[in-house]
Structure 1
Amino acid sequence: MTRDPAALLPSAEPVMLIDPSGAPTGLADVPDDDTMLAAYGALVAARRLNDQAYALVRQGRLAVYPSSHGQEACQVAAAQVLGADDWLFPTYRDTVAAVTRGVDPVEVLVLLKGDWHSGYDPYRTKVAPQATPLATQLLHAVGVGYAAKLRGEPTVVMALCGDGATSEGDFHEALNFAAVFGVPVVFFVQNNEYAISVPLARQSVAPSLAHKGVGYGVPGERVDGNDVAALLAVLGGAVAKARAGEGPQLVEAHTYRMQAHTNADDATRYRQDDEVAAWVERDPLTRAEAYLRGRGALGDDQVTAYAAEADRMAAHVRDGLNRDVEPNPDDLFDFVYARRTPQLEEQAALVADELSREDAR
């Protein structure tokens, strides 16, 4: 299918429905109050989760945590626009997206504790394991979407990545295959300005990352990544188009990583404090709250209730991750294949023998 090149181009400016002060821009209708309240509650929980996870790192209960503080609206909206049978493919920074999708936060975070590589069931949750290598999950997402298309299922796949991933070969292969075969995938780029310490200007000279879709015949759109209303509208529209058989969609959210790449990173070595401060004024949480308060849809009692619910979630996370787990050596061999191979049986016997000798000392 040949597309009109003009129809592939994104908006000249990122779509914004609510400005940083919380006022509607008038560009288009903001989602209804119930939808916005659900998003606000998820944002409150997301910010609390980020703070709690960082505290657990300092306490030695998590090895590392890539915070999404400041870009939570992207992840909340990505999860909320999906249907029950749709799939989400997150990166290592997308803990909030997985939790908003309904995955137990303890099960998500054990990956970063070191107990398991993904502590949840992807088939039950329709959330793929969080991917650390850049862009590899995009190929997996296209595979799931293509399989669903061949089976005649109305599944849409939301494939998350960052700006750095758009420089990877897997990004090219995923978009090209998805476009050629009309795969129902929404490629969602969270452009937070940095690939670890490399600024966007050193990664790409394209007019925007959404413009990259033109080369594959994939329509692109840009959205204010700190405006949860605009994200719900743009991502919801992209999901609807993919489900209707219009093929893959590319959405770029302009947002910012407020904290360091991970707790092991010193962000002051490559960016200035005034740059960070400028983005504080665009905080997605305070923006959504200001909008809802302005409409009279949110009051102090509700704000307190949302905060209390987020605190209960944080307590659940603390309890789960502070619980010491006794490792079972058999796990090394039980979860490689559905049935142990002769080689695994031999290795398991060697380990069991060594452990018995150690216990006998």
Structure 2
Amino acid sequence: MNTTFVTFADTASQPGGAAEQDSVLLDAYSNTIVNVAKKVSPSVVQIKVSGRATESAPDRKNGIPPQRRAPGRGETDGGTGSGFIISSDGYIITNNHVVAGASQITVSLPDSRDFDATLIGRDPATDIAVLKIYADNLKGIRFADSKQVQVGQIAIALGNPYGFQYSLTTGVVSALGRTLRSESGRLIDDVIQTDAALNPGNSGGPLVDSNGDVIGVNTAVILPAQGICFAVSSNLAALVAGKLIMNGRVRRGYLGIAGQLINLTERIKQYNQLSVRTGVMIVSVEPDGIAGNGELRQGDIIVGFNDQSVASVDDLHRLLTDDTIGRQIQLTILRENRKKGVMVTPGELK
């Protein structure tokens, strides 16, 4: 019986062989990354801050896990981070925690020019801040629609990890729709998870797709883990940045109450025909005049807000948008275990 051995060399030499196909695929992937780097790098900046006090440790009371930390480079007097230009007239997006408390902010461009930056506004609740510099020959990056992002697609992160300027890492979108608790205690919704490596100094840099369009703003990592990184979605970042540019801040509603999560018994749930298993029990009411909350009492349990279910304090935070400020809103509460509607007028959170 004759046996013929086919070697790997013979296979690779055949036209259209597996090795040749792999080479073509590798070249296509490499070309994509190279083209993105050329397109995006001119818009990625390094941010240097100074003159701020020592940053406090994560707020455990607000539920920020100590192992989850934004990848900034905090120091007693300053630090470095990343950002990216969004317009030719010098508006730059970065993270709030990169610039918070800084008395001086310097932006370094890829062409080695340095500029003093003006802080236009910052929003701790979403960890987004906007800066402005006055320079010419600036190139902005375009935002992609983060609703079109899919798990598994290429994700490319650019920034300045540990001060190494204009570094690029690649990965994929690992998950969508994550939530991340900000330093203010509020949840950031619609967070993108990626395994594109982030390190201290990557904060505020862009996470882009294969077209070089921004799909997120790099903001946090899980410290003990490998490849679990997070970015604020481009849609949320663009919305917040627009409000910061127009108004210098993001307006949010305020009820003037302190609340805590409480479990509802099955009997109470069925008797009141509720769809939620938990609610927000009012621990105290602050009659400070900012919010019209006179109908609320200590011990009331909030389970609804304008016909939308409320199961946690985070639900209230999400629903108290700038559209609710100064408007009468109906809260659905449980008082003495019975459902009742009361009217409140949210004030503006300062």
- The verdict on a shared fold, with TM-score over 0.5 as the criterion, is no
The interval holding the TM-score normalised by the smaller chain is: under 0.3
**Of Structure 1 and Structure 2, which has the larger fraction of its residues in helix?**
1
Q: Structure 2 length normalisation: TM-score? A: 0.22
Bigger relative contact order, structure 1 or 2, given CA contacts below 8 A and separation 6+? Answer: 1
Rg larger in structure: 2
**Of Structure 1 and Structure 2, which has the larger fraction of its residues in strand?**
2
